[in-house]
Structure 1
Amino acid sequence: MSVAPTPPSPRGTPVTPGRSDACPGALRLHAADDGALARVRVPGGLLSTCQARALGSAARRLGDGDLHLTSRGNVQLRGLREGCAGELADLLGEAGLLPSPGHERVRNIVASPLSGLDARGLSEVRPWLSSLDAALCASDAARGLSGRFLFALDDGRGDVAGLAADVTVRARTDGAAQLSPGGVRIAHADVARASVAAAEVFLEAARDDGSGAWRVSGLHLAKEELAARVRRRLDALGIPHEPRAEPTTADPGPRPGALSRAVSVHVPFGRASGRQWRQLTDVAETELRLTPWRGVVVPVDGGSAAAALASLAAAGLVTDPSSPWLGVGACVGRPGCVRAHTDVRADAARTVGTVIADTRPVYWSGCERRCGRPGTHHIEVVADAGGGYRVSDTADGSARPLMVGSASHVAAALAASTS
């Protein structure tokens, strides 16, 4: 689908947050304990097989050989050798993964991974995705967004709408779309312009209220006032809209296994080995869809689903929808991160089987930063400097303490809290 770039709003100007946003990108590498780290934005998690192979090649040639999936459907390359930034940029540019170097860190867009592959969605989100990405890259003001700002495009099933994005668009049963912030009904054709307008209003609010916020949740401004500002901006741009209540249905996202026109796998801790990545690209006919739950959806012909799942399972990817791995996540921990107090992934792996996959997920963090933690209700396990862990329930946006103890005591607490 060819989409003309949306001209930038004349009122929007880049805003620099009050403190430095060090979020890594593909061109701004982060120095980690295991080497440099690059985060490649993959809007909607959508990769052509050629792009997926290019990422695999970059990981083998320049990094640790693995592909690290994030909670936003992006890809991290770790263990990058010194001085490879230029070569990496060339590889990504040739694969079409850097359409606008000035916007590469702000192209954070999650989208319903099964959109168009089953009958549960109300609208195919791919046209929204291509037009929003083009509009972002055309907006000079959008360059001022932090690398953490998130857009979500939900096809109506309610999967990515629950990920606490900063701007969410969701298909409605009446054939229109719902925009938040703003709480308004808009036409499908206006999704990209309205989404970028909402982001520009956020940037202005972050400047005006003195917060220098990176995300909507950090604004000092009340939600109602932000919504009112968004509606006024839509009026100024001539985008028709009307207040409507938010849809409330929710979907947990794709489970591993065979789907109607695809197969789905989960990647433990989001770390796909080079062999697993090659197997995914070999199975894929045209594309891979990375999910915000560190999984991969591969569209395939219905007759080849069984063989595809068998080969992916043989590579060590999770294909069982009842696997206990679905309830366990963790940051990179030691030795990859200097801030981490311990090897949280090793400790988390020892608890697999104590967590019931259909209950609240458990996320292990190596320090108080809790990088990559879910934005929804979960049990958090946070390492402390003394070698122990603090276990809490994040219900209602709080962190209700459950226990403090050593790694050997955590499994029992998790079994009790998720039963």
Structure 2
Amino acid sequence: MSIADFSGRVRPDACPGALQVHEAADGPLARVRLPGGAVTAPQLREIAACADELGSGVIELTSRANVQVRGLRSASAFAARIASAGLLPSAAHERVRNIVGSPLSGRGATGSLDTQPMVDALDRTLCSRARLAGLPGRFLFALDDGTGDVTGLGADVTFVAAGAGPGRLLLAGADLGLDARPDSAITLMIAAAEAFLDERAAHAAWRIHELADGPRRIAARLNGLTAGPPGDSDDPDGSGHSGGSGGSGEASRHAAAPAESPESPDPPAIRRAGRIAQRDGRVALEALVPLGRLTPAQAVALANAGPTVRLTPWRTAVLLDLSPGAADRAADTLAEAGLVPDPASPWAGVTACTGRPGCAKSLADVQADARRWVSGLDAAPPAPVHWSGCERRCGLPRGRVVQLIATEDGYQERQQ
């Protein structure tokens, strides 16, 4: 598929997958979709083994809770092993299985719905529709358990649970009054994706917000399928989406860096790590993954530490359904592996782009520089800090951020 970006160029949709890899400066990069961030322990061990045996040993977490394996020596062998692990249910749809979900999936204090079964149902339905293989690789679905944690990601189509009543269907982050119940939400989300394909037929758009008046146009096509008609919105143009300061800016950054997430979706003021009380009396444990990179050994440690693993859009890992004692043991295990279950850690709020050697445009090895900088801290920095290898500033979080941008003469500090 070839479409024009906002600068008028015509280029293919280059989002990588497990079959279509991205030729990065450090070798082929493959992206494995994990709907809802869900991955079984055997699957995580296999990803770790592939990174160790077929790649450079680098596993990256993305802003859609997927994983990337860098420096592949045999892309075909990698794809075969990923398929055998059950992570490639449809070769035709593998790059469009972009589904995020609330990591706690109804277990937390404010979540009201177990969204993971809905994530799985949406994935199956998506893969069963041949036409939806034509969705752009950046089109995003989200299912929010009522917590509001993934609502702000600016997904193209978001279902938000609302206790015992009907939830809402958001389009590009805009609430147009579309009611949706859990038992009908998947049908509506699929219909919205098909409506987008109808609307984009004459337009160069990868996301709903890139269509002129996109949310309203999609809502109009859904009228009659929902429990309530579209209503007025304070955000008629869908500009409430996250992931960029504007449509053209997001598009240009995506074009330059096919690796996922030129914009980190999580509000940087939230420090994520530590124990989380589940409503059933058990415990979830969230661990920071420094700079969003796992080694194969760390991936195996995660797989061995708890019965249920969820990767998150803010590049952390959550272990679910632990007893208090098991949570203590898991925290020790993850800390020994170099992961960070402490919200006060110097790693809290520190992010970085890929940098050298993975990105040919980078002017510095920002990952190494950021690690050296963090090693000299005693506590988390007062504001989030993002390290960038060039002016594209890939991975830049929203909100107040201290930016350290590599130049020919060292790093330049800016405030966002």
Q: What's the TM-score bracket when you normalise by the shorter of the two chains?
A: 0.7 to 0.9
Aligned residue in 2 for 1:148: 138
Residues 21 and 367 of structure 1: CA distance in aligned 2, closer, same or farther (over 3 Å)? farther
Aligned residue in 1 for 2:68: 76
Is the 1:186–1:242 Cα contact (8 Å) retained in structure 2? no
Q: Which amino acid aligns with 2:387?
A: W
Is the 2:405–2:413 Cα contact (8 Å) retained in structure 1? no
| Residue among 64, 78, 85 paired with 1:88 | 78
1:367-419 deviation per Cα after TM superposition (whole angstroms, max 9, x unaligned):
34433333x3242636355344454444xxxxxxxxxxxxxxxxxxxxxxxxx
Aligned residue in 2 for 1:386: 408
Residues 141 and 367 of structure 1: CA distance in aligned 2, closer, same or farther (over 3 Å)? farther
Does structure 1 residue 366 correspond to structure 2 residue 389? yes
Is the 2:107–2:114 Cα contact (8 Å) retained in structure 1? no
Aligned residue in 1 for 2:58: 66
Q: Percent identity?
A: 45
Does structure 1 residue 241 correspond to structure 2 residue 262? no
Aligned residue in 2 for 1:111: 101
Displacement after TM superposition at 1:258 (Å): 2.1
Is the 2:223–2:230 Cα contact (8 Å) retained in structure 1? no
Cα distance in 1 for residues equivalent to 2:347 and 2:147: 24
Cα distance in 1 for residues equivalent to 2:31 and 2:270: 23
Aligned residue in 2 for 1:377: 399
Q: Which amino acid aligns with 2:199?
A: A
Is the 1:28–1:38 Cα contact (8 Å) retained in structure 2? yes
Aligned residue in 1 for 2:312: 291
Cα distance in 2 for residues equivalent to 1:123 and 1:215: 27
Residues 380 and 100 of structure 1: CA distance in aligned 2, closer, same or farther (over 3 Å)? farther
1:82-135 deviation per Cα after TM superposition (whole angstroms, max 9, x unaligned):
xx2221121111111001111111111111111233232021111220111112
1:286-309 deviation per Cα after TM superposition (whole angstroms, max 9, x unaligned):
x31001111100122333111110
Is the 1:360–1:377 Cα contact (8 Å) retained in structure 2? no
Residues 107 and 387 of structure 1: CA distance in aligned 2, closer, same or farther (over 3 Å)? farther
Is the 1:366–1:383 Cα contact (8 Å) retained in structure 2? yes
Greater CA drift, 140-149 or 382-391: 382-391
| Residue among 269, 276, 279 paired with 1:259 | 276
Aligned residue in 2 for 1:416: none
| Residue among 197, 202, 205 paired with 2:196 | 202
Does structure 1 residue 37 correspond to structure 2 residue 29? yes
1:252-283 deviation per Cα after TM superposition (whole angstroms, max 9, x unaligned):
77832222222110100111112211111111
Please report the TM-score for the alignment, with normalisation by the length of structure 1: 0.80
Does structure 1 residue 230 correspond to structure 2 residue 251? no
Residues 152 and 245 of structure 1: CA distance in aligned 2, closer, same or farther (over 3 Å)? farther
Is the 1:41–1:75 Cα contact (8 Å) retained in structure 2? yes
Is the 1:184–1:243 Cα contact (8 Å) retained in structure 2? yes
Does structure 1 residue 330 correspond to structure 2 residue 324? no
Cα distance in 1 for residues equivalent to 2:200 and 2:106: 36
Please report the TM-score for the alignment, with normalisation by the length of structure 2: 0.81
Displacement after TM superposition at 1:338 (Å): 0.8
Aligned residue in 2 for 1:5: none
Residues 274 and 190 of structure 1: CA distance in aligned 2, closer, same or farther (over 3 Å)? same
Q: Which amino acid aligns with 2:358?
A: G
Task: Name segments (4+ residues, structure 1) moved above 6 Å.
Answer: 244-248, 250-254, 353-356
Q: In angstroms, what is the RMSD of aligned CA positions?
A: 2.7
Aligned residue in 1 for 2:119: 129
Displacement after TM superposition at 1:185 (Å): 1.4
Residues 151 and 309 of structure 1: CA distance in aligned 2, closer, same or farther (over 3 Å)? same
Is the 1:281–1:288 Cα contact (8 Å) retained in structure 2? yes
Is the 1:328–1:355 Cα contact (8 Å) retained in structure 2? no
Cα distance in 1 for residues equivalent to 2:306 and 2:389: 34
Aligned residue in 1 for 2:251: none
User: Please, which runs of 5 or more residues in structure 1 have no aligned partner?
Assistant: 1-14, 395-419
1:211-235 deviation per Cα after TM superposition (whole angstroms, max 9, x unaligned):
x12223333x02xxx3332233223
Displacement after TM superposition at 1:157 (Å): 0.9
Q: Which amino acid aligns with 1:233?
A: R
